[in-house]
């Protein structure tokens, strides 16, 4: 009953009638549901995690696994997980959670606002005893999601401590595709990348990116937009970004997918991750009292 009352209280404080409501989501987790004329969408307080965005007249853009675990301590498989303050495994600490600790934390709802034809949801999380056992820094992290004819995600970190900090970050977006073998990613031709499936060897992209096997690449020193072209769903998704110098492209393919308990065996065919990020040698240094903002903008058009 306390959880129900807390949810109702959040909805009274933050909800916008007919546009945004705070409701119970999968696994009893709290989420903000957007139902505006311009778009529908969802954002969970668990992980500050956007799980859906569907602009008016279009199909769902994001992929979420049918086998995702919707529970405390587990990351949601799909949507847009927030990776912070490290990407992948933490160096020197094999027991630390993969991709950092914020994607499995309960975030707090800061605001819901309607501006013109868009609805913006802001959630935040902060340092505390639960984070300092993994990372000593003092910080405040905001994830601001604007739902409309485009999806705009901002990750804003403030160094609230007295010492400089260095961190990695990623908006680990899972894009829904009709058939992965037919999809193409354009805009990375000539870019150097680290191939994580080949001992992190540095290679150079030749032409468009086609997925033909397990793919896990960090494209380096790139700030340009990329296009995901999908002839099966008849759409082109433009993925633009600001203050991001790496782009990660990932698909687990057959064998890796079979080893993942929260991904159905055939779902690798229906998704590709294109991740706005600052990772590896492009991790961010932030002085005390300063703020860093990384932004992802997603637009969809016919193809």
Q: Mean per-residue pLDDT for 240-257?
A: 97
What's the domain range around 121? Answer: 2-302
Measured CA to CA, the distance from residue 186 to residue 164 in angstroms comes to 37
**9: which 2 tokens?**
């209280």
Q: Mean per-residue pLDDT for 221-247?
A: 97
Q: Is the pLDDT of residue 258 over 80?
A: yes
Model confidence band, residue 264 (pLDDT cutoffs 50, 70, 90): very high
Assign residue 108 the CATH number of its domain.
2.70.98.10
Give tens-digit pLDDT for 154-172: 999 999 999 999 999 999 9
pLDDT computed for residue 234 by the predictor: 96
Number of domains in the chain: 1
Give tens-digit pLDDT for 125-136: 999 999 999 999
Q: Give how far Cα 293 sits from Cα of 78, 136, 161, 290, 300, Å.
A: 23, 21, 17, 10, 23
Q: Is the pLDDT of residue 175 over 80?
A: yes
DSSP state of 136: -
pLDDT computed for residue 2 by the predictor: 74
- Give the position of tokens 């992929």: 63
Q: Is the pLDDT of residue 59 over 70?
A: yes
Give tens-digit pLDDT for 60-71: 999 999 999 999
pLDDT computed for residue 4 by the predictor: 79
Model confidence band, residue 279 (pLDDT cutoffs 50, 70, 90): very high
96 HSE (CA, 13 A, CB side): 20
Q: Average model confidence (pLDDT) for the chain? A: 96
pLDDT computed for residue 1 by the predictor: 63
The more confident residue out of 185 and 94 is 185
CA dihedral (70, 75, 81, 83) in degrees, to 10, reads 160
pLDDT computed for residue 5 by the predictor: 82
Q: Is the pLDDT of residue 303 over 80?
A: no
pLDDT computed for residue 65 by the predictor: 98
Give tens-digit pLDDT for 10-49: 999 999 999 999 999 999 999 999 999 999 999 999 999 9
For 25-107, strand residue ranges (E) read 30-35, 39-44, 49-55, 82-83
Whole-prediction pTM value?
0.97
In this prediction, what percent of the chain has a pLDDT beyond 90? 95
pLDDT computed for residue 302 by the predictor: 77
Give tens-digit pLDDT for 179-216: 999 999 999 999 999 999 999 999 999 999 999 999 99
Q: Which of 91-95, 196-200, 269-273 has the lowest mean pLDDT?
A: 91-95
pLDDT computed for residue 98 by the predictor: 94
- Give the position of tokens 């602009």: 55
Instruction: Map residue 6 onto helix, strand or coil.
Output: helix
């Amino acid at each position: 009953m306390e959880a129900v009352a807390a949810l109702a209280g959040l909805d009274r404080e933050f909800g916008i009638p007919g546009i945004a409501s705070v409701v119970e989501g999968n696994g009893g987790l709290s989420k903000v549901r957007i139902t505006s004329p311009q778009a529908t969408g969802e954002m969970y307080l668990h992980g500050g995690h956007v799980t859906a965005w569907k602009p008016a007249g279009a199909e769902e853009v994001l992929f979420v696994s049918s086998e995702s675990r919707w529970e405390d301590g587990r990351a949601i498989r799909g949507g847009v997980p927030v990776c912070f303050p490290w990407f992948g495994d933490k160096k020197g600490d094999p027991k630390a959670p993969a991709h950092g600790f914020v994607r499995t934390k309960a975030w707090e709802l800061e605001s819901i606002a309607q501006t013109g034809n868009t609805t913006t949801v802001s959630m935040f999380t902060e340092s505390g005893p639960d984070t300092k056992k993994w990372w000593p820094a003092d910080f405040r992290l905001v994830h601001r999601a604007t739902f409309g004819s485009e999806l705009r995600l901002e990750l804003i970190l403030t160094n609230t401590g007295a010492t400089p900090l260095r961190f990695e970050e990623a908006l680990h977006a899972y894009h829904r595709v009709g058939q992965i073998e037919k999809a193409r990613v354009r805009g990375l031709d000539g870019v150097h990348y680290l191939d994580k499936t080949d001992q992190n060897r540095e290679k150079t992209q030749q032409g468009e990116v086609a997925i033909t096997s397990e793919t896990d690449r960090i494209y380096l020193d790139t700030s340009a937009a990329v296009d995901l072209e999908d002839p099966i769903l008849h759409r082109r998704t433009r993925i633009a970004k600001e203050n991001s110098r790496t782009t990660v492209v990932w698909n687990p393919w057959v064998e890796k997918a079979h080893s993942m308990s929260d991904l159905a065996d055939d779902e690798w065919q229906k998704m590709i991750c294109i991740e706005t990020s600052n990772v590896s040698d492009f991790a961010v240094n932030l002085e005390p009292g300063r703020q860093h903002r990384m932004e992802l903008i997603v637009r969809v058009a016919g193809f």
